[in-house]
Chains A and B, each alone.
Chain A
């Protein structure tokens, strides 16, 4: 059974810091891994999608890496801003015809001025 864990559960940092959010998964046979952002009481916004054949994806100040062999993905946020404050969720999709995402519980990020 695929389990996804995110560390830390919560993080509070001053503006301008570079951040690393961690995601680990127990089954390395994944099809892809997706990072989402969720603002309080809102839906999920897709940030980055990494296919199983890829090692990393970048979008602006965000960079996500994937290491299937170790069962890990990291989301790197450069030069954090107060507007980055949100919950960040990672979700793994298994290969082999499975069609659902398995989510971690998220990392709650607060960036203060």
Chain B
């Protein structure tokens, strides 16, 4: 297992366009998380899945954002009608939760630039 994989690594898009990011977690991990990080700040929680169920969404996740995790494997994060304020690093993480936590493993992130 090579860890958490995110694609693409970089995305430049024009304001108003839709973008979709993909995350492939560690295969045996049952939880998957999305975070957003802006320059000079720590990551901020967006949403998380337990298997295929989306169990929590941050108020940062406006109605332009949607995340899915079909079949409890990979996940996608879509941003519709992108705005310049959406420019950030989008990080995916996974963990194994079985009474105790394995801790989070993060991917390399997708850097989004909206021009």
Residues of chain A in range 11-53 having any CB-CB distance to chain B below 8 Å: 31-32, 34, 36, 41-46, 49, 51
Across-interface contacts of B4 in A (CB, < 8 A): 43
How big is chain B's contact interface, by range?
A: 20 to 34
Give the number of residues in A that approach B within 8 Å (Cβ atoms).
Answer: 24
Query: A100 to B106, Cβ gap below 8 A?
Result: no
Across-interface contacts of A41 in B (CB, < 8 A): 111
Total A-B pairs in contact (CB under 8 Å)? Answer: 60
Q: Interface-forming stretch among A58-66, A67-75, A77-85, A102-110?
A: A102-110
B interface SS class: strand
Query: B108 to A42, Cβ gap below 8 A?
Result: yes
Q: State how many angstroms separate the Cβ of A36 from the closest Cβ of chain B.
A: 7
Given contacts A46-B106, A99-B55, A105-B42, 12 further A-B contacts (CB under 8 A): A32-B101, A36-B106, A42-B109, A43-B4, A43-B91, A43-B108, A44-B43, A51-B101, A89-B43, A93-B101, A99-B33, A101-B35
Q: What residues make up the interface of B, taking CB atoms closer than 8 Å to A? A: 4, 6, 31, 33, 35, 40-45, 48, 55-56, 58, 91, 93, 97, 100-101, 103-109, 111
